[in-house]
Structure 1
């Protein structure tokens, strides 16, 4: 066995397959494939944000329809992520990865040919379903390939940096494609990338350990109740934009979500093979880190969305120019992720997390002061970089904390929980902050009908101020993480 690796552990009912050595070429290939797939998933979020105004104009969408292009993806993603993460444990990471990647690629192809809003929104929902299986599989590949702590930390640092790179590339590539080739190419671009990754995964990713009778062990009642519950919760909050917070269209789905998620907990407590063993939440680090991820994601997802609209609709920037404006913040996330990777072994997760969230909170609060007649140089770039750097500093140690100490048979579950927290947080944040921005803009226009740019800026600024509250809450939750420093 190569020096520095730990013996491969085998869960009951699994066929043992030793992971490749962390420094081997096969391990490097697996890391590259996992990071590239995660890049594609994150790219799809940011690349679509820049194209939203063009999609709305060509397909004659309302403001709510425009937001549904983002929300449909998030609903499919967030609703199925727990099941998607568990699939890697039940049918094998390789099968889950290939299946999720295939669905994601085909849905991207279908979305590019959309001729109306319903078609595009349906394709985006299908992308979310594929991503719900694919995203946890990328993290599970890393967790099961890199078993030695230092190697796993470096691999997760690369994975976190790639997420930021996806945001940077998506904003720029989305702007270029939208302006010079048309918005359809922000979806078509996933097709060749997906085909290359499928070919590479077939060659480089081993079949790995597969639970015998995995699908027969699937907790179908648990899968149905948690998927329906999460979807209903996100839908109810999204509906608040068009129906108002006092409407039955909002509180009906929210109430249904509460009932369904309570039923899910009851099912899991009695299931022989639960989808999510409730005992996993007894780990304080896992539970705390996932709550932090929810709050951080609510702020970050909303920031990309609100800033994209502010730059294009309030300041009148073109798609390309708006995309280029995201580069400094995205690069700040990459740099911060690399710094966090180097410091994590010395300081532990807690100091990095709290420092990063303090910087993010200050950045979001500063960013909320944007004006309708301001400029990128004076109103956006400095607070944007500050918020992004702080988030990058906090994200990687939070992911490591949430997935550390996981048994091999629960690697997919831990990955699914992290990604579920990220996507549910993003969905809730986007729905809540987007609604707050819309209502603020509408109220401002009612008071000052001719002041459109200032009304838009006021709405986006109010949403960004709430983002600062989200990261402040994340910092308070992060205080519950243990103070201990990790072993070198």
Structure 2
């Protein structure tokens, strides 16, 4: 039986970790860096609101829908080969997106970025697991990797505002290409080649079904009212395709989702909870800048700068979660508390009294929860399935974000006057959404508590500074 052999420990583990964390930062950065640039971009390219939404959705849909396929290709091709290919595709898409050539080519370039990200992210996580044996070193590495991921989402708003103001919208894409180029040079030098699974094949029917199903689901939830069909038809078609995946996988010789992974309690629990965390994560970074700009009158640059405390708390908490134990439940409770505090949303809110405190709590809660959930989702995973496990946990966050945003924006909209909503109406709508986000965080906390009481999470929930139980126990 031929299986993928883990790469030997690198001669420069610190440099390898920096490379992997930088790649994950870049992948997550591109989920938000374009948001602040959209008004300038839309004006230059004469885009409709739907066209501007596609600049964002093209990346998110390609990234989220193809992550399971990217994870499986990581296991089949070899970790270094997949990582290098993903980085190359991502860089090519970034270069193409930075050239002002019209709406269609830009949407296509963003989709290429998403395809590269869907291969790069699970490959990077698989390399990290292969190079860091179970123990305190792996927990610390996951903390750094998680901090980089968290920082990417928070830094996107800030960098987008700075680059757009200083150079123009094209710079938000060009900077990704510039950051990717050193990685292309460093990867062959730092990473040893890992053997591919010569007997393994990509489950093409399963890959097509899961990609189409997730694409329809995410796109249908984000494109309500844009087709002549009722709003539920497109996402319902996506759900039906995903349900059809199970009988297809049972007949597959080398299934896209290995049965052993689906029987892993830690992996299943981690992915379900990550769906909920993803919904809250995306909602926070969507509604907070809207409140700041549309209610408080902040400029895009000011809105970006005020994200710094949240980003700092997120990074610090993620780093700490890799060294501490038992941070998942406190993190979710802290997150819910911060969201309820922020949900006050006064029309005349001030940074120091109304935004700073809840932003720090939200950032800390996200960081304390994200790292142990990532660890939980890959606990007790065989090395040959590390890529698909990493892809699946990232897919859960992306799909959870799409589902959550669709539900929360629906809750916010009825409270907003359809004609010309004033600050009070907008604040009321955003308040409803943030309260609902807090309830989602509490639901995740309740689920975590139930599993802790039943002994199914226990030491697997978080990395330990002494023993890395989070990746060695199946009692999730």
Taking structure 1 as the reference length, what is the TM-score of the superposition? Answer: 0.88
Q: Distance in 1 between matches of 2:290 and 2:103?
A: 19
Which residue among 216, 239, 245 is the counterpart of 1:258?
A: 239
The Cα RMSD (Å) is 2.1
Residue pair 1:371, 1:458 contacting (<8 A) in 2 also: no
Q: Is the contact made by 1:365 and 1:464 (CA closer than 8 Å) also made in structure 2?
A: yes
* d(CA) in 2 for partners of 1:203, 1:120: 32
Shift of 1:439: 4.4
Give the gaps of 5 or more residues in structure 1: 1-11, 345-350
- For 1:84, the equivalent position in structure 2 comes to 70
**1:301-312 alignment runs, 5 A limit:** 301-312=282-293
Q: State the partner residue of 1:248.
A: 229
Alignment partner, residue 406 of structure 2: 431
Instruction: Tell me, in whole angstroms, the C-alpha distance in 1 between the residues paired with 2:329 and 2:434.
Output: 20
Measured after TM superposition, the shift of residue 151 of structure 1 is 1.3
Task: Spell out structure 1 runs of 4+ moving beyond 4 A.
Answer: none
Answer yes or no: is 1:282 the counterpart of 2:266. no
1:129 correspondence with 2:110: no
Q: CA 1:339–1:25 in 2, change beyond 3 Å: closer, same or farther?
A: same
Q: 2:8 aligns with which of 10, 16, 19?
A: 19
List per-residue Cα deviations over 1:395-420 (Å, max 9, x = no partner): 11111111122111111111011111
CA separation of 1:54/1:372 partners in 2, compared to 1, >3 Å: closer, same or farther? farther
In the alignment, what sits opposite 2:473?
none
Contact 2:31 2:60 (8 Å CA) reproduced: no
Query: 1:300 corresponds to which residue?
Result: 281
Corresponding position of 2:144: 158
- Alpha-carbon contact 2:6-2:383 (below 8 Å) kept: no
Counterpart for residue 268 of structure 1: 249
Q: For 1:387-406, what aligned pairs fall within 5 Å after superposition?
A: 387-406=362-381
Task: Out of 79-88 and 360-369, give the one that drifted further.
Answer: 360-369
Shift of 1:57: 3.5
Contact 1:92 1:208 in 2 (8 A): yes
Shift of 1:18: 4.5
Cα separation, partners in 2 of 1:322 and 1:363, compared to 1, 3 Å: same
Alignment equivalent of 1:340, drawn from 306, 318, 321: 321
Residue by residue, what CA displacement relative to the aligned partner does 1:60-81 show, whole Å, maximum 9, x if unpaired? 4344443333222111111100
Distance in 2 (alpha carbons) for counterparts of 1:295 and 1:123: 30
Q: Which residue of 2 aligns with 1:485?
A: 459
**Aligned-pair CA distance for 1:104:** 1.1
Is 2:452 the partner of 1:468? no
User: 2:394 maps to what in 1?
Assistant: 419
Count how many residue pairs are aligned between Structure 1 and Structure 2: 458
- Pairwise CA distance, 1:15: 6.2
Aligned partner of 2:422 among 452, 472, 477 = 452
CA deviations over 1:441-479 (Å, ceiling 9, x no partner)? 2xx245xx4x52223323333222222122122112223
Equivalent position of 1:226 in the other structure: 210
Partner of 2:221: 237
Could you tell which deviates more after superposition, 288-297 or 117-126? 117-126
Contact persistence 1:72–1:122 (CA under 8 A): yes
Structure 2, unpaired ranges of 5+: 461-465, 468-476
Q: For 1:307 and 1:33, how far apart are their aligned partners in 2?
A: 31
Q: CA deviation at 1:313?
A: 2.9
Q: Deviations for 1:186-241, whole angstroms, at most 9, x for unmatched residues?
A: 11101111111011002111111211154xx1110100111111111112211225
Does residue 1:54 correspond to 2:28, yes or no? no
Give the superposition deviation at 1:298.
Answer: 0.9
